[in-house]
Structure 1
């Protein structure tokens, strides 16, 4: 009931007026008066002043005849004289009529704003998911929580990974999303590659990936407080019809109903912040194993010379004001001295990142962004050669990412794996305010699948293997050229 209807009903009850009497006075059928009182309807704006003036006269006469003015004052919290009563009743009706008109106008605008959209045409569906929805996520100027039960692997395979990788939100976007593990674990590795390139293309978004076995029939995307998309899929699991709902109340009802489908036991990998990553000693425990795979996408922070350790610790302590990280670096120094002497280590390094490291010396050691000086880079090369000679289980695999057509620009996340634990690191997060620092992989099956995939890269055409002997031969042939490039980089500053 609107404010006008509430006041009108109060006046009728206070005076005991019959609707038929009011009908005779104002010249409107009883059904209209009843609707004004009970069904949120209002008199026409053109006739409202005359109607309100006639009813005010009637109600004032009844109140005075019943000597009921005190009850009127109490009911409407006002003081009024007998002479001003009719005018007071009229203004009471007039003001509440105006308020109800404003409320009705607002409600109509909301109904128009929240009007759902039904997408049935293939072009409309494509444009919505590839253009409108990503732009909506950017336009919301607040942190967003998103649920998506649709399979991310199929989406990544069917859509260009770089379609809107240039769109970077200025606020956190946290997405819980389903994964079809039968596709993810397929022997051809298409699902695994698609998922890796997907998170690289959307490196500014925090994803939690869930086995979608219990949610694969829901076909729902929900942005909490903002929009819900309910999808009907065809036989190829493509969106055939999409219903887009904007009413916040309904959106959040759908969110609450969908959230329980994302169960903790089904979590495969999740975006992880620095504190969460260190609070249980994850990183130091990670290096207690003896068989490692590292895919490095920025610089080369391993096999560092002794001269660099103190500098990195000092940078953490003095520049970053992070005593905790300085301690982590010191602990890793002790741990790594034994690891590099005898353990099996496979280093996969992008050719482009090696060239960049030669040019600018940037590494991210633990969480310390550090730029190696030209002299430190030369010492680093010499230390790599020495340690590789002392441990035949150290192997280097240089990936020529220029041969990876249409995907070389989508390799940002580094991979750190000991075949029992695996995490991904986002170097660009250290230069921006959005996106995850890490992804922790929780599924043992997924860890083993990624391990096997990295093993398979060794024989790829775009991958060149270097052991200690071939690495020394490369150094003997090109070492002076590399050193001149490093010296030249000093003049670019």
Structure 2
């Protein structure tokens, strides 16, 4: 630790300088416009000081109005400029309030308690950032190697105001099938817990240092971890974090993809869902109305009603897949009892990530068609989870899970807009989720429906 520069953030000063350059203004012109002392303006620009909290909003809106008036030719908006300046202030205060930066650009912890104390303070403050987003990039499997304590910290983020969560991490695949239930629970809870979650996992390489970068400005490296012994260094120094961001990019860009975020639109374009329903073996947990095996007459009616030719073509392809492949496949379909009842009552269903409101007749035709399939294809089984059992409460938050022989897909359709969609074609990830699903249907609160029992819901 030879660098003795105090760790600081000067986002507000940087934003001021950028705006002054764009507007062609000097410090004295700003001071005259807002009727403020030029010494204070200089301190704000240099990052030595922030506008006082007592009248910060007034000062910033006055500055924004000055910039907007001098940038009319580019259509500058005072409200947008003010929001940028306020966000820059929040980021600067974040560094001051964290109280985790040391005297040097690199600081050191030698206990797990101190390590997690650092992270808890960091996450508590990071949720107050401008867009309520937390981004984590780790060169190792943080869920496995940091364990329950780190996962508990992640679970606190939504209640602290975090709306969007992004995590990139590396994973040593040969070791991963040991804790498959814990691993699946962690991933499913993360995907379910945010308005938007993006998780990307790549295969780890040997001798990669254990590095974590949070929101691009906080860096930590675990130096040693064994039983009770622990050592790590960390920094909020922008230059240090920038260096390790570059290292992180190289790690992720050159690694084999294990699990990745995908937009629903891209999934439809690449026929992933059509391929899944065509598969000879499927395990499906729908935490929503079961958007599968709709009869041909219902599919044709929906296709005719579509305003998009691409979508109507997609529905007609799906109609053929349902009748030719899904109807004859080996399928385990798992639903909450309340999901069936809610679907029958409302007719609301998402098909190909497009919401539909089916008529009472269309819903009845759908349920009867599934029942007919169960009678003719003994490999098509429907399982129901009882809603009254407390053990099911955690599952109710989970995204839907679709597993076939080629891929596992997680879809959080209960959140709107539907953006939490993840897919993996990695064989070991598929096996992990297969075991997880098979354990779900063995639960004491889960039972298999007969065709007649399914029809009784109508």
- The normalised TM-score by structure 2 is 0.68
Superposition map of 1:215-230 within 5 A: 217-224=209-216, 226-230=217-221
Matches of 2:282 and 2:404, distance apart in 1: 4
Instruction: Deviation per CA, 1:205-249: give whole Å up to 9, x if none.
Output: 21101233447632322422x33334455424997656241x433
2:156 counterpart of 1:163: yes
Cα 1:461/1:215, change in 2 over 3 Å: farther
Counterpart contact for 1:293–1:416, Cα < 8 Å: yes
| Other-structure match for 1:385 | 371
Matches of 1:295 and 1:284, distance apart in 2: 17
Cα 1:396/1:250, change in 2 over 3 Å: same
| Other-structure match for 1:258 | 248
Cα 1:152/1:316, change in 2 over 3 Å: farther
2:293 counterpart of 1:303: yes
2:189 counterpart of 1:205: no
2:273 counterpart of 1:283: yes
Alignment counterpart, residue 417 of structure 2, candidates 418, 421, 432: 432
Residue 291 of structure 1 and its aligned partner are, at CA, apart by 1.4
Matches of 1:313 and 1:389, distance apart in 2: 28
2:408 counterpart of 1:415: no
Matches of 1:237 and 1:215, distance apart in 2: 22
Partner SS state of residue 262, structure 1: helix
- The normalised TM-score by structure 1 is 0.64
Matches of 1:339 and 1:219, distance apart in 2: 46
Residue 393 of structure 1 and its aligned partner are, at CA, apart by 1.4
Alignment counterpart, residue 178 of structure 1, candidates 155, 170, 182: 170
Matches of 1:135 and 1:372, distance apart in 2: 45
Bigger Rg, structure 1 or 2: 1
| Other-structure match for 1:192 | 184
Residue 104 of structure 1 and its aligned partner are, at CA, apart by 10
Matches of 1:388 and 1:263, distance apart in 2: 46
Of 378-387 and 350-359, more deviation after overlay is shown by 350-359
Cα 1:141/1:168, change in 2 over 3 Å: same
Cα 1:278/1:259, change in 2 over 3 Å: same
Instruction: Deviation per CA, 1:12-56: give whole Å up to 9, x if none.
Output: xxxxxxxxxxxxxxxxxxxxxxxxxxxxxxxxxxxxxxxxxxxxx
| Other-structure match for 2:238 | 248
Equivalent residue pairs, number: 368
Alignment counterpart, residue 348 of structure 1, candidates 320, 334, 351: 334
Cα 1:124/1:216, change in 2 over 3 Å: same
Matches of 1:387 and 1:376, distance apart in 2: 16
| Other-structure match for 1:34 | none
Counterpart contact for 1:219–1:232, Cα < 8 Å: no
Unpaired runs of at least 5, structure 2: 1-37, 51-91
Residue 422 of structure 1 and its aligned partner are, at CA, apart by 2.3
Cα 1:176/1:358, change in 2 over 3 Å: same
| Other-structure match for 1:235 | 226
Counterpart contact for 1:184–1:192, Cα < 8 Å: no
Residue 139 of structure 1 and its aligned partner are, at CA, apart by 1.5
RMSD: 3.7
Partner SS state of residue 189, structure 1: helix
Partner SS state of residue 210, structure 2: coil
Cα 1:216/1:411, change in 2 over 3 Å: farther
Counterpart contact for 1:228–1:244, Cα < 8 Å: yes
